[in-house]
Chain A
Amino acid sequence: MTNSWMDIGNADVVWIMGGNAAEAHPCGFKWVTEAKHNRGAKLMVVDPRFTRSAAVADHYSPLRAGTDVAFLSGVINYLLTNDKIQKEYVKHYTNASYIVRDDFDFNEGLFTGYNEGTRSYNRSSWEYVMEPDGFAKRDLTLSDPRCVYQLMKKHFSVYTPEVVERITGAPKDKFLKVAEWAASTATGDRSMTIMYALGWTQHSHGAQNIRCAAMIQLLCGNVGIPGGGINALRGHSNVQGITDIGTLTASLPGYLAMPTDSEPTLDSHLVKRAFKPLQPDQTSYWQNYRKFYVSFLKSLYGPKATPENEFGYQWMPKLDIAYDVLRMFDVMHQGKTTGLFCQGFNPLMSVSHKAKTIAALSKLKFLVSMDPIETDTVRFWENHGEYNNVDPTKIQTEVFMLPVTSFVEEDGSFTNSSRLIQWRWQAADPYFESKKDIEILSDLFLRVRTLYEKEGGKGVEPLMAIDWNYKDPRHPSSDELAKELNGKALVDLKDAEGKVVRAAGQQLATFGEMRDDGSTDGVQWIYTGFYGPNGNFAQRRDNSDPSGLGVYASWGFSWPANRRIQYNRASADPEGKPWSEAKKYMFWNGQRWTGPDVPDYVPTIPPERAVGPFIMNQEGVSRLFTRGFLADGPFPVHYEPFESPVANPLYPKIKGNPAARVFKNDMEVFGDAKDFPIVATTYRLVEHFHYWTKSVHANAVIQPEFFVEMSEELAREKSIRPGQMVRVWSNRGEVKGKAVVTKRLKPLKIDGKTVHSVGLPLNFGFIGEAKKAAPVNTLTPFVGDANAQTPEFKAFLVNVEPVPGPVA
């Protein structure tokens, strides 16, 4: 989230699409109801189903699952053709004025540089025209036919309301109302927030869904201001923090990158990433990459990391390919993986194409599950009849189920969806023999090391190089680890005048204090300051809010630098004056940037220097045109899901996202509209959390059994009675559930043909107190987004039939 949960209360228009906040984030959704109640804000919801969010919305429009890009591009086209954009903002805070290379082009649904064989693009032409001085060429009049603004107008012109209706099935008038309400915030005195979640990410074109939303917000000038922003409503309680930490195949903490084979030395790794500014005076914060990287290596290897040994860079594992979750299970399926550790993870439920997952797990030599509760995965080898029909005797996997403490039995810090780090205090003793993850993993690590000390073996040096300096090595405390995350001075840090600004051993106050010479450490530069010299700010509990804008600057710590709204420089115009009294936030008072929040950059830099708000970008501005940073194009294009009831109405020859990666054996099990005419989408229910609460009595009580939602029309067509058991099958498997026949789902007219949809809640499985069910991921396709490799759970094809038998 660019903004905070509380800040949603400042919105004038709330747009929920690709998510269902009322259902998945009820307590965050509170701030939507607050905006409605206090400011008369309007809520609009666009979703294949009339959701719980829609139940309290002022406007609802349906659309076909998987066609969000078309809908959103329609809105972009509406804003551009009706000139409903915040011109000044667009001119100064986006790359609308940048000139794009002449050899960049788009036709027949493909950008220049496509290679069909590798399903990928050569992106060299997706670039700016550079001036001799090394800066990018711009035209602030936005009239140059090759400027981003003009290219956008051309690119999006096809998405007329009629075309949008044809592709998405959203009635023209309902679509237009959404566009008008969005446009109503392009004024500088009103703001719109966009709230989305997995409904946008879990597509083969997920990143482009979000790109569209970002572009709309930038055109309306809604990024960096109160009640605005792009707000990704994240799933697990600490998925933000764990992603920040970088337990992802290609990540290091703080969004630094894993070394790869092509980067044999530290410098060869760093040189690619120290991005130079593309305009004079821009911050281009990644110029400091080296400081953060070296500080991280100092935390990882401690004293062993020296300038001489590239701070231990050579000990780091180097990535040959990225093992995203789909590849991880593909590799496992090929029998190339020996062991799997599942820490609070239930892949049998949460990975696409269950049959493949079962086959993959069965090929493991061993599986270790660390979880407070039993998961379906840890019992994957157990026969549960039709729900998990396996033969234990044929599965040779050794399985360890380790009891782990639950949230009340541990302490530590959490980073919520809006980057706010809060502390959790321990309330109870460990349950029976359960232990904390920290304890278990430390124990394992030390046991393995001991084995190597005794027996020797491969890769001893890098293993021993890891710094493990804790009071109790078998049980590092949360406090020690939190301090490591923040980082400290290893020697007295002096400024230019030689004055000591940070004494040796002191915690760092900001990442600005980090150095690239090994004199500081710090695991996670973006968190620096959360446990600074003045203590653990995650534990701050001052809930005062002087500005009344829901900032709560002294409650916990919001990374980076305790900033609550990112890019807040954009809440003022180029001269530093607020766009309006209504949206006054950060502004230039003549001497410094001031307001209720922490400014994006050094508060004394005057507006004249035109330092852009988007400090992580070389341009200092935001990108309407993403250059080569995305695999599937610098502008969004409507591509059908890989399983779609119709051919792409715009580019009939193109199946799915041309740049999405598909493994061979998975391509073969895509179903087509002939046998599977019905669009299916999966989603979460408010009564349940993921796959945990089927094991929680109270939640099993309020939503006990898997069901299939369908329209009255479809039920009639298939003669399905409410409450009757139905069979839903895709080309990969089948599930059975009770029919919930509802007015909240309606068939849509797509390209002249009637298309039905069914909704499949995913919270059910064969372990727990809720009624047993086969996981919905028995049905889902094994294909991911072109950039993030997020599986396409939200749009695929199935068929439905009633199962004879009594109605419940």
Chain B
Amino acid sequence: MSRTFEVAPGDAVHPGDPVIVDRYTTGARINHWITAASLVLLALSGLALFHPRLFFLTSLFGGGSTTRMIHPWIGVVLFFSFLGLFFRFWKLNLWKREDGTWMARLRDVLTAHDEKLPEVGKYNAGQKLVFWLMSVLIIVLIASGLVIWQEYFAQYTTVEQKRIAVLVHAIAAIVIICVWIVHVYAAIWVRGTISAMTRGKVTGGWAWRHHRRWLKELVTGKT
């Protein structure tokens, strides 16, 4: 039986010591970091207007009014830049049978018993979950965000609709920040990961340990 090929254009293996694996193209990396930066700025400016205790964050953006003005625009940037990521990655993030098993063994994931986990492709279930959550939440945020974008869209909705939107926006924002924390922490905890987004490369060992099938397919694809 044949399985779908788990490799993205640009992924490649370079034999050597250690083996080096190309994971992300320059384009993908730039795209990611734009998204990441906007998300962080959005979180900071958003939180500033969300909780009085954090209002001081507005000074990062040159005061309350500019924060109010800038935040939605960053949102727009995030939306389109994430759209880029989405079209790059959505195929490889489709849910697979082994993802279920992987999720079932979350305890082994958290205790770093990777050997007990099924071989996964370029992305494991956790990463896929982050991907899909981000996608959904960003749509929710942009939609609710437009409703409460006073400067341009105030006249199109009722006060009651705005109230709902502002609540939804707040909740979605909190969730996305949590998802972001997971994402970032995972990258830190699983050593050797960050280079994937900085230099675009990981070591063969990293690939072997965390994304064995991806590595195998790269190799077999190569020979």
Question: Do A and B contact each other directly (Cβ–Cβ < 8 Å)?
Answer: no
Instruction: Give chain A's interface residues, CB within 8 Å of chain B.
Output: none
B residues apposed to A, CB below 8 Å:
none
